[in-house]
Structure 1
Amino acid sequence: MKKLTLYAFVLAGFFAQAQNNLTIEEATLAAQKGFGTKSLYGAQWRTANELTYIDASYKALVEKNIHDKTVENFVTTADLESAVAEAINEKISFRTIPFDYHWDNEKELSFTYQGENDKYFVVYNIDTKKVSKAIKFNAAASEEIIAPNKNYIVYLNKNNVEIIFTNGDVVKVTNDPDHVINGSSNTHRNEFGIDRGMWVSPDSKKILFYKKDERMVKNYPLVDFGARIAEVKDIKYPMAGLKSEEVSLHIYDIDTKKTTVLNIEGDKEQFLTMPSWSPNSESVYVGVLNRGQNHLKLQRYTASTGNFEKQLFEEKSKTYVEPNTPLKFLNDKEFIYVSEKDGYRQMYRYNTNGKQLNSYVYKDVLFKGFVDVSPKEIYYMGTANKGMDKLLYKVDLKSGKTIPVTKNSATYNVEMNKDKTWYYAQYTNFTTPNNISLNAVNGKSTLELLNAPNPYEGKTVLPKVELVTIKAADGKTNLNGRILYPANFNENEKYPVMVYVYGGPHAQLVSNRFGAGAGGFDYYMAQQGFVVFTLDNRGSENRGRDFEHVIHRELGQNEMADQMKGVEFLKSKKFVNADKIGVYGWSYGGFMTTSLMLNYPDTFKVGVAGGPVIDWKWYEVMYGERYMDTPEENAEGYEKASTLNKVKNLKGRLLMIHGAQDPVVVQQHSMAFIEQCIKEGKQVDYFLYPTHEHNVSGKDRVHLNAKIADYFITHLKK
């Protein structure tokens, strides 16, 4: 175990004029209560030299160029109101600049406007201060996409795909009954990087879309308690080992008005991932993944007929293959495929015959997203510093040489200009709330736009935060951890501990962000006199394939072993009261909390488990079977991971919280746990949020955090 150099970061004592501790409202609703970190919003390059962003009042765009010239009120809400009102012949009011605005070229920006009765896609010209195009469409439309040629919008009307053209003509592409859902991003339950369900071809002549048939999936009842007599509202929930949805891909031709299905062979319950158009719009590429999720086939289909053309390559794994990034074409003949087949999620260059031409594996960096792609070079975001940092990298495609472009140890977000000569950079790190600048790619010039002050300065004294490194249970892997010390810390006193845990895939709690990623509730609990500790165990995100795949077929086991190494670290501190250690987590963290309480009952005296997975056989196919296979294939693993057979071990105080409308971790999990507690004669506390789904959000979050804090204070501190 070792302390990182950032240990020196101590917020306590910074503020001589500090006032009281945070209230639970301030800790929960920080931005609304005056603790939001200053930032710039909607930053986009208009030209190679000019960038625009929304001003502090949200009433105008500001333009800033690389020579530090500023144009205030570059585009105002008044400008847009006048132009749009004239174009649609309707009195309107723009309270803010549209946050979804986009520069189509140097002179025109586009955005979506929600009117009283309709939606409009609008193109506004900054020279004429007129609307050059306005397409009216259904106000109830969702997931709308504007075609590249700007001549039509494709959108969803409930479960069907529709198109509206600039002349107002509407085409109903599909007309399917309930539970046959077209074009939805909620296909395969949003796994595999799916964030949309429709893709318009580069030439705007065809639309590729998902069709999800879930009629064969069992209905799952959610009870709406808001009605005079409570009503059952069924959802379709494909549970592990049971019947799953059947998904196909279809292409609608704008000219012929015909729809063609891709003739994809294989199990009807396989997963269709990474749908990608070829640059010439003649072919579609699909990653066909088996339900077992350990065998991926990249295949190409002819767009005009839907016929199979060629299988380019296969990827197999003893654990699982997890495609989550569409192909990125460099030209008509070459593309980038992202995979973790060599240990870290990295880029591989292939030709359209399926031959791998090069790989761009660079140290232990994980690819996080494309920034700019050309036939010669790629700018992309990737991790560094054992997953703690996110940096901008540049790779030369011919030589394969990769260099970091951003130099600070930090978590970056960037926007590259079209000439790839300058980039907009927003970063945060352990001691920096938010820094924004324009930077020359060659590193010779920089222009700072914002260096945000600490939002808590002069308002409260934040606890001391420390980053630590702890050896995992395997004795060799370093894990990243974070400690918040109690307010007015005295090393000679003994303090209770709240361990905040998640522990599952695709999540990272400790990172090189301001305060190491600690949130308002962490600060609140530390101000209440708790040591607040968080550890990213093996199985969590951004450390590579082997680090994450260690959980395969035995969820919870290695994760708990690592968390107990964190507890050993805590117990080695003389200021930790080893008899007063509690644990709190939500979702996978709720599963971890419950598991730790039952497997280590003499260690954890208090636990709060929110939306917890209790038995993985009740979780969904896509996520659950990736990590556990089916209950029939892995009966031993499911039995070992289940918390139901360990309820008899419960000793401490456990509060279980659930949303009655939860469609992710259904309430059956916590209900089964309560029933088992009754059978075992174990007392447990339970709280239900009747109207909330998987997470408790909005103002009710204050109620949630107050309940959790009170539970720890009552049963662990007093």
Structure 2
Amino acid sequence: MKKTVWLFLLAGMAATAQKNLTIQEATMGQYQMFAPKSLVAPAWRKDSKTITYLDNSYANLMARSQENNWTESTLISKTELTNALKAKFPADTFELRMFPYTYKWNDANTLVLEVTGKNNTYLVLFDVTKKEIKSAIAISNEAAQQQLSPNGANASWLKGNNIVISTIDGKTINVTNDTDKGIVNGSDYVHRQEFGIDKGMWWSPNSDKLLFYRKDETMVANYPLTNWDERIATNKDIKYPMAGMKSEEVTLVVYDIASGKSTTLKTEGPKEQYLTTVTWSPDGKKVYVGVLNREQNDLKLNRYDALTGNFEKTLFEEKASTYVEPLHDLTFVPGKNDQFLYRSEKDGYEQLYLYNTDGKQLKKLGYLDVVITEFLGFDSNAKNAFYMGTADNGLERQLYKVELLSGKTIPVTTQSGTHTTLLSTDGTFALDSFSNTITPNTTTIVNLNNKKDTNTVLKAENPYTGKTVLPKMELVTVTSADGKTPLNGRLIYPADFDTTKKYPVIVYVYGGPHAQLVTNKWLGGASLFDYYLAQQGYVVFTLDNRGSDARGRDFEHVVHRNLGVNEMADQMRGVEFLKSKAFVDQNRIGVSGWSFGGFMTSSLILDHGDVFKVGVAGGPVCDWKYYEIMYGERYMDTPQENPEGYAKTNIIDKAKQLNSRLLIIHGAQDPVVVQQHSMEFINACITAGKQVDYFLYPNHEHNVRGKDRIHLNQKIADYFDTYLKK
């Protein structure tokens, strides 16, 4: 063979050779170039058997309908929408980069859209049949948390700490006029967004009233965050109620548009209680509120008169020796204004209960040890309800159907893995997207009446084929420190794995409530950065210890008053599992995690320095008395009530035990785990004569986002390469 031809072939092989991930690809690629193909912003058209979604260019709203045998068609384009906007608002300028991603169906022919022009933001009702704007409300481009009323005639929004209503005829109503910034109206940042709070305003069903949170935090201590962007650094004060200290005082207010009158619900009791599960009655005459005491162990579901604000009745009370954690609003049964579904883990697993408005439990709708993860809706006559729930010890997500009258439950999906499902408004069809460890994504339209009439809309190819070879990953089971509970784990082997070699290990940990890292879905729930580290020659291991999510009340509540104790015991069982593997180098085990995972990383390094050689702890809680009330007191009670628990979990006092390499990373603007945590720990290390590494991201909050995330991952990888590979 001639030399030139040989060189040409070598060049061709190099051009097509698969390579390891770059740090940029490992950080961003999971959501960009390596994201499995999927439908973008899918939604069922109301009262029809049509699914809509955006095309790959994000410029067109596509549709598939049963009457057209589920063939794809273009429903409305970005250009058509732009032309309609220009015709309706000729004085404004619109440059839509994409069809509005957050579109919603108001009825079978009307979309609710939020569109930003040069002069204003518009909440639009758009007729997809006539391709014209039915109505629109203009609000300020600086508006926050805007909400359109159900009838489309009014829009509520926030201007600073006050609520404004804009009407369809161009009027503006100032609902609140508080000049003290310590009085916050209508914001979703109430009770620090614990208890499932994701909004601070609720329109009544008939659009004549607006219910909202009023938060008085004037008595809460100011906490300074230093802004380094100024010529002379300045402090920005936030309100940060630390465990055991003074908390905010919250009320609920009803504003009547016709009268202009505001009425405060008489949620009597201690001023520092929590107001949760806020729900209008279907007729708009009553408001239901879950009133939870500050100790978070006693919940009362109360009913109030929306006109007078008067307390009417406690429907039921839920107590616990640990904590009660309401996370969801009530769901009224269609056509039955006197029945609603309530979600609770009072019997061991978060499940559905059917109640009437007198407070009588009509039926327990739970199924085995399934934890409900998402409520989807009802069929057309509200005979059955549908929800997503766990399976296989929390590893999977499946679709379930429950009959309200009998409580009989049927698993609808059965293929092993993680299903994400959208239910049509009549409960006839489901758009089911499915993945597991060997399936990137398959999306199917399923007829729920017979499960035979199905149509595969999309079957994603492996996005890594021809680009990189991901290391082998397997899901494993480890028995917890209690000797009986199976724990879910994930093991990613090094690239080019050789059973005769010994490899360093990185344990990636979170371990706290409301988080689950190991699931039976594509990549096993791991981040692509974990695979990057495996490509660099590490074994990467993750274990969901007791205290983590999706396994029920008792599994999680072992954390109560002793955060980190049982979690660490389980993680050490994971280490025993690793040490049983001949390919694991027992002298080169590292650990890494962020937030609660940063707390776990630091705790493991300090308590088990003979096991862990290197650690990287991001945004770590170092002393729970510096953490906020709502989360901290739920799990630890107050420092006054539980001094032993706070002392046992305080890593600042353990700084003298540091004998391993430890890198602490923190965001200087962190309003969640304030920088005081890591600064106190660093100071304790100095006092103890212990060397510790520290890195600060001056302009980031609790998470390092955007392009700086690449910098963060490179720093973590470099640290392990420097101190663990040796």
Structure 2 partner of 1:501? 509
Rounded Cα–Cα distance in structure 2 between residues aligned with 1:396 and 1:101: 31
Aligned to 1:419: 426
Report if aligned partners of 2:93, 2:118 keep a CA contact under 8 Å in 1: no
Partner of 1:96: 98
Distance 1:599 1:71 in 2: 59
Letter in 2 for 1:193: G
Matched, 1:78 2:79: yes
**Residue 358 of structure 2: aligned partner:** 353
Matched AA of 1:401: K
Counterpart CA distance in 1 for 2:83 and 2:593 is: 50
Amino acid at match of 1:139: N
Aligned residue for 1:207?
Answer: 210
1:275 aligns with 2:283: no
Which sits farther off after the overlay, 465-474 or 435-444? 435-444
Q: Which residue of 2 aligns with 1:440?
A: 447
Q: CA deviation at 1:509?
A: 0.2
User: CA RMSD of the aligned region, Å?
Assistant: 1.2
Moved more, 371-380 or 453-462: 371-380
Amino acid at match of 1:41: V
Note if 1:307 corresponds to 2:310: yes
Instruction: Give the secondary-structure state (helix, strand or coil) at the position aligned to 2:197.
Output: coil
Distance of 1:537 and 1:667 partners within structure 2:
27
Q: Which residue of 2 aligns with 1:653?
A: 661
Q: Name the structure 2 match of 1:7.
A: none
Cα distance between partner residues in 2 of 1:623 and 1:175: 31
Q: Give distance in 1, aligned partners of 2:138 and 2:35.
A: 36
- Per the alignment, residue 219 of structure 2 pairs with 216
Residue 203 of structure 1 deviates from its aligned partner by 1.1
What amino acid is the match of 1:586? W
What TM-score results when the alignment is normalised by the length of structure 1?
0.97
Q: How many residues align?
A: 703
What code does the residue aligned with 1:324 have? L
Deviation at 1:106, TM superposition (A): 2.2
**1:561 Cα offset (Å):** 0.2
SS in 1 for 2:458: strand
Q: What does 1:368-379 align with in structure 2 at a 5 Å threshold?
A: 368-373=373-378, 375-379=382-386
State the match for 2:38 in structure 1.
39
Query: Which letter maps to 2:69?
Result: D
Change (3 A) 1:81 1:621: same
Distance 1:623 1:664 in 2: 11
| 2:331 counterpart residue number | 328
Structure 2 match to 1:255 = 258
What is residue 155 of structure 2 aligned with on the other side? 153
AA aligned to 1:676 is A
**Cα deviation 1:674-710 (Å, max 9, x = unaligned):** 0000000000000000000000000000000000000
C-alpha displacement of 1:33: 6.0
* Counterpart contact for 1:468–1:482, Cα < 8 Å: yes
Cα deviation code 1:565-616 (max 9, x no counterpart): 0000000000000000000000000000000000001000000000000000
Distance between the aligned counterparts of 1:203 and 1:106, measured in 2? 19
User: What's the counterpart of residue 55 of structure 1?
Assistant: 55
Query: Map of 1:84-123 to 2, 5 A cutoff?
Result: 84-89=85-90, 90-123=92-125
- CA 1:69–1:553 in 2, change beyond 3 Å: closer, same or farther? closer
DSSP 3-state at the match of 2:369: coil
Distance 2:302 2:706 in 1: 44
The one-letter code matched in structure 2 to 1:674 is I
TM alignment of 1:454-493, pairs within 5 A:
454-493=462-501
User: Aligned to 1:695, which of 686, 703, 716?
Assistant: 703
Separation in 1, partners of 2:132, 2:558: 58
Once the 2 structures are TM-superposed, how far is the Cα of residue 407 of structure 1 from its aligned partner?
A: 1.6
Is 2:30–2:527's contact at 8 Å kept on the other side of the alignment?
no
Letter in 2 for 1:436: T
Distance in 2 of aligned mates of 1:541 and 1:194: 18
Contact 1:606 1:652 in 2 (8 A): yes
| 1:519-538, Cα deviation, whole Å (9 max, x unpaired) | 11101100000000000000
1:118 Cα deviation (Å)? 0.9
Q: What's the CA shift for 1:461?
A: 0.8
Where 1:104 maps in the other structure, the secondary structure is strand
- Say which SS state the counterpart of residue 717 (structure 1) adopts: coil
Give the Cα–Cα distance (whole angstroms) in 1 for the partners of residues 302 and 459 of structure 2: 48
Give the secondary structure class of the aligned counterpart of 1:82: helix
Q: Does 1:405 align with 2:447?
A: no
Give the C-alpha shift of residue 50 in structure 1: 1.7
Partner Cα distance (2:73, 2:455) in 1: 17
The whole-number CA distance in structure 2 between the counterparts of 1:243 and 1:199 is 28
1:513 aligns with 2:518: no
Contact 1:499 1:532 in 2 (8 A): yes
Which residue type is aligned with residue 53 of structure 2? Y
Distance of 1:572 and 1:31 partners within structure 2: 32
Task: State whether residues 206 and 253 of structure 1, in contact with CA within 8 Å, keep that contact through their aligned partners in structure 2.
Answer: yes
Structure-2 separation of matches of 1:471 and 1:38: 36
What residue number does 1:198 align with?
201
Check whether the contact 2:505–2:539 (CA below 8 A) recurs between aligned residues.
yes
Which residue among 236, 241, 246 is the counterpart of 1:243?
A: 246
The answer to whether the Cα contact below 8 Å between 2:125 and 2:152 also exists between their aligned partners in 1 is: no
Compared with structure 1, are the counterparts of its residues 321 and 23 closer, same or farther at alpha carbon in structure 2 (3 Å cutoff)? Answer: same
Q: Which runs of 5+ in 2 are unaligned?
A: 1-14
What is the Cα deviation at residue 17 of structure 1? 6.2
1:74, distance to aligned residue in structure 2 (A): 2.0
* Aligned-residue offset at 1:64: 1.1
- Structure 2: distance between partners of 1:31 and 1:629: 39
8 A contact 1:222–1:235 mirrored in 2: yes
Residue 32 of structure 1 and its aligned partner are, at CA, apart by 6.9
Task: Say which SS state the counterpart of residue 487 (structure 1) adopts.
Answer: coil
Q: For residue 156 of structure 1, what is the amino acid of its counterpart?
A: L
TM-score (norm 2): 0.96
Helix, strand or coil for the counterpart of 2:575? helix
Which aligned segments of 4 or more residues in structure 1 are displaced greater than 4 angstroms? Answer: none
**Which range moves more in the overlay, 147-156 or 419-428?**
419-428
Match of 1:172 among 168, 171, 174: 174
Residues 18 and 457, structure 1, Cα contact 8 Å, conserved in 2: no
- CA offset at residue 368 of structure 1? 1.3
Q: What's the CA shift string for 1:214-257, capped at 9, x where partnerless?
A: 11000000000010000011000000000000000000011111
8 Å Cα contact 2:93/2:117 also seen in 1: no
In structure 2, distance between residues paired with 1:51 and 1:340: 34
Aligned equivalent of 1:548 = 556
CA apart distance, 1:69: 4.2
Structure 1 gap segments, 5+ residues each = 1-15
CA 1:713–1:502: 2 relative to 1, 3 Å? same
Instruction: Tell me, in whole angstroms, the C-alpha distance in 1 between the residues paired with 2:221 and 2:373.
Output: 36
Aligned to 1:339: 344
For 2:588 and 2:202, how far apart are their aligned partners in 1?
A: 54
| 1:291 aligns to 2:294 (yes or no) | yes
- 1:154 Cα deviation from its structure 2 partner: 0.8
Contact 1:608 1:708 in 2 (8 A): yes
Cα distance between partner residues in 1 of 2:689 and 2:172: 63
CA contact (8 A) 2:93 2:119 kept: no
In the alignment, residue 257 of structure 2 is paired with which amino acid?
I
The equivalences for 1:575-614 within 5 A come to 575-614=583-622
Q: Residue 183 of structure 1 aligns with which residue?
A: 186
CA distance in 2, matches of 1:303, 1:537: 44
2: distance between equivalents of 1:31 and 1:509?
16
CA contact (8 A) 2:103 2:111 kept: yes
Task: Report the Cα offset of residue 518 of structure 1.
Answer: 1.4
Distance in 2 separating the partners of 1:69 and 1:205: 40
Q: 1:395 aligns with which of 390, 396, 402?
A: 402
2:19 partner amino acid: N
2:398 and 2:412 in contact (8 A); partners too: yes
Bigger drift between 588-597 and 157-166 goes to 157-166
**1:40 aligned partner, one-letter code:** L
Deviations 1:630-677 (A, max 9, x none): 000000000000001211111110000000000000000000000000
Q: Secondary structure at the match of 2:251?
A: strand
Residue identity in the other structure for 1:427: F
1:690 is aligned with what amino acid?
P
Measure, in 1, the Cα distance between the counterparts of 2:493 and 2:538. Answer: 7
The aligned residue for residue 5 of structure 1 is none
